[in-house]
């Protein structure tokens, strides 16, 4: 009798009825499927080796075992593939039934949610980098070996993207700094901490991180030659409106270094007051009042002082979403097979920290 739902022994696989019974259909890449078909054809033939006297006949089971082993070797050697799943969503359950396997690890979710492609989307780039930073600080050792390899492959793509596009290098520098600090502590404490893999692999990874840091340090921004309208040509009120759209104080300071006019606008007390009121509650910044020489509150210093004590609000163009009805974690654009009558009412955006908390059982 066919399975009506996901098989509890192997969640997420599809089953196909054949003459020999029900067999699992594995979603491999097209190139691998071609290879698999060739292996399957071989597995149903009799292989003869050696001389006539020492003729050895392999059974179908032996050939199938050899075929599976070659598939596994192909997976291990295929460094370009980051994920072998078609679905871009994953079940997140803390309890299990016979029909649905509920235990989901952080590493499994990291592999299944296609972060490798997400970094190419500018709306999701900051989200993925922040998530990698949180994992580097506290959850690196909880990843499986495959997830750790995927983690560093994605990190390599991020660094290459920043070197090519010169997009938000400060964010990547903070990530690499936290990751290098964590690895130094883990490598020094070998035997006390859990590191999957040989210690030499981790030393090589640390050396690679130090090389990336040096490359980002020497990164030179390309000066774009444009004879058309530039930022400096905009009226003051438009420049002021642009500054008021920033949610990060460091971005305001960086933009203020472009021209004297932008510097003057970036030092506006009202701008920094609005920024403090956006990120922090009134009770929080009332405890850390920093008056200036003229007796006024220095809102710029206030912002950076409060940032040390309280987390700031995070803004992302796109985030992962969690469906409370289906218990599925997914990217909103890709969707998921929801069975609710009104799926939009069941969706909940997931911040990077919330993503980490979902897998703390």
Q: In this structure, what are the phi and psi dihedrals at residue 193, rounded to the nearest 5 degrees? A: -115, 165
Mean pLDDT along residues 295-305:
83
- Cα distance between residue 257 and residue 253, in whole Å: 7
> Cα torsion at 228, 232, 233, 236 (round to 10°)?
160
Q: What is the pLDDT of residues 140-168, one digit of tens each?
A: 888 888 888 899 999 999 999 998 888 88
Q: How far is CA 219 from the centre of its chain?
A: 24
The pLDDT score that the predictor gives to residue 55 is: 40
Least confident of 39-48, 118-127, 270-279: 39-48
- Cα distance between residue 287 and residue 247, in whole Å: 22
Least confident of 40-49, 155-164, 203-212, 252-261: 40-49
Mean pLDDT along residues 20-26:
71
Q: Measured at the alpha carbon of residue 314, what is the angle toward residues 212 and 303, in degrees to the nearest 5?
A: 90
Highest mean pLDDT among 9-18, 155-164, 300-309: 155-164
The pLDDT score that the predictor gives to residue 47 is: 35
Q: Measured at the alpha carbon of residue 236, what is the angle toward residues 234 and 237, in degrees to the nearest 5?
A: 105
Highest mean pLDDT among 112-116, 130-134, 165-169, 284-288: 130-134
- Domain ranges (residues) in the chain: 110-218, 248-309, 320-358
Percent residues over pLDDT 90 in the chain: 14
Q: What is the pTM of this model?
A: 0.65
Model confidence at 31, pLDDT cuts 50, 70, 90, reads very low
Q: What is the pLDDT of residues 64-101, one digit of tens each?
A: 555 555 555 544 544 444 444 456 788 886 555 555 55
Count how many residues are written for the chain: 361
- Summary mean pLDDT of the chain: 75
């Amino acid at each position: 009798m066919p399975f009506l739902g996901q098989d509890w022994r192997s969640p997420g696989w599809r089953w196909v009825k054949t003459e020999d019974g029900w067999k699992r259909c594995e979603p491999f890449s097209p190139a691998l499927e071609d290879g698999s078909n060739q292996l399957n054809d071989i597995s149903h033939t009799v292989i003869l080796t050696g001389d006539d006297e020492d003729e050895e006949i392999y059974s179908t089971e032996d050939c199938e075992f050899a075929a599976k082993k070659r598939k596994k070797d192909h997976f291990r050697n295929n460094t370009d593939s980051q994920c072998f799943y078609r679905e871009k969503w994953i079940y997140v359950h803390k309890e299990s039934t016979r029909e649905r396997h509920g235990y989901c690890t952080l590493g499994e979710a990291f592999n299944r949610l296609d972060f490798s492609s997400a970094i190419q989307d500018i709306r999701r780039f900051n989200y993925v980098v922040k998530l990698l930073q949180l994992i580097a600080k506290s959850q690196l050792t909880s990843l499986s070996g495959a997830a750790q390899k995927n983690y560093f492959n994605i990190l390599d793509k991020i660094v290459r993207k920043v070197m090519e596009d010169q997009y938000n290098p400060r964010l990547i520098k903070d990530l690499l700094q936290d990751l290098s600090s964590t690895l130094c502590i883990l490598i020094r404490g070998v035997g006390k901490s859990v590191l999957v893999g040989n210690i030499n692999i981790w030393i090589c990874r640390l050396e690679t991180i130090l090389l990336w840091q040096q490359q980002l340090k020497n990164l030179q921004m390309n000066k774009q030659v444009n004879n058309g309208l530039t930022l400096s040509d905009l009226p003051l009120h438009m420049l002021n409106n642009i500054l008021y759209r920033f949610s990060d104080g460091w971005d305001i300071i960086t933009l203020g270094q472009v021209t004297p006019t932008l510097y003057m606008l970036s030092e506006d007390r009202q701008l920094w007051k609005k920024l403090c009121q956006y990120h922090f509650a009134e009770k929080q910044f009332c405890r850390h009042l920093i008056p200036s020489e003229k007796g006024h509150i220095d809102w710029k210093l206030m912002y950076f002082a409060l940032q040390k004590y309280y987390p700031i609000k995070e803004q992302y163009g796109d985030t992962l979403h969690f469906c409370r009805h289906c218990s599925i974690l997914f990217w909103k654009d890709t969707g998921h097979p929801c069975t609710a009558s009104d799926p939009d009412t069941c969706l909940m955006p997931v911040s990077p920290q919330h993503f980490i908390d979902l897998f703390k059982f």
